Amino acid sequence: MRLSLTDKFLWDLYGVLEKTGDVAVFFLNPHPGKWNRLSGIQNPIFEKYRHSKNRAKFSKLVYYAKKNNYIKIENLKGRAGVILTKKGLSKALKASFQVEGKQKRKDGKWVMLIFDIPTKHKKARILLRSILYNLGYKLFQKSVWITPYDVSEKTEKLLQLHSLDGYVKIFLIEEI
């Protein structure tokens, strides 16, 4: 399955931010139209997309990501810094599953997730089901989902990101 350019851009941005542990690692030159570097540190994501696409397409990509609330451009240390938003991080993690493919757990165990979200939080329940489906979970019972894939870490990140971890229990099971 091919990823959209936006998904790929967000996934690449997330990958670099995850390695550096710093959301403000990328900086834009304060001069309009110049996507540059700070203190000689290269911005590999921006360099990659800027050179592979023409400047107008790259600007549209950044504009689209900003307009759809996937990234924020904020003033950090006197320069415009790119920050991946909650929505952008969620989209990047979903895209990562498509990029990396589905890999079964090496130990042969299954991940079981059980949730109990009150009916007054219907949107949260719908969001959780969407996350689980996108990560490759299958419905086992009404609020019990299982998967043979190694997605425990991504599941935990997304649950914490959307503040759903209080409603969910995750188990590692040997057989169904």
Instruction: Give residue 11's domain range.
Output: 5-89
Inside any domain, residue 159:
yes
Q: Are 133 and 155 found together in one domain?
A: yes
Inside any domain, residue 38:
yes
Show the tokens assigned to 35: 């996507």
Q: Are 150 and 123 found together in one domain?
A: yes
Where on the phi/psi map is residue 167: left (φ > 0), alpha (ψ -120 to 50), or beta? alpha
Number of domains observed in the structure of the chain: 2
- pTM for this prediction: 0.60
Last residue of a domain, one of 34, 58, 89: 89
Handedness of CA 100, 21, 107, 167 (dihedral sign): negative
Q: Are 38 and 83 found together in one domain?
A: yes
Inside any domain, residue 97:
no
Angle at CA 107, nearest 5°, toward 101 and 113? 70
Where on the phi/psi map is residue 41: left (φ > 0), alpha (ψ -120 to 50), or beta? beta
Q: What is the pLDDT along the chain (176 residues), one digit of tens a residue?
A: 566 777 777 777 777 666 655 443 344 444 444 444 333 345 566 666 666 656 677 778 888 888 998 888 777 666 667 778 888 887 887 777 776 677 888 899 999 999 999 989 998 898 889 888 888 899 999 899 999 998 888 888 888 888 888 999 999 999 88
CATH number at residue 121: 3.30.70.240
Q: Are 54 and 11 found together in one domain?
A: yes
110-115 and 168-173 as β-strands: parallel, antiparallel, unpaired?
antiparallel
Instruction: With CA atoms as reference, report the closest residue to 47 among 88, 2, 9.
Output: 9
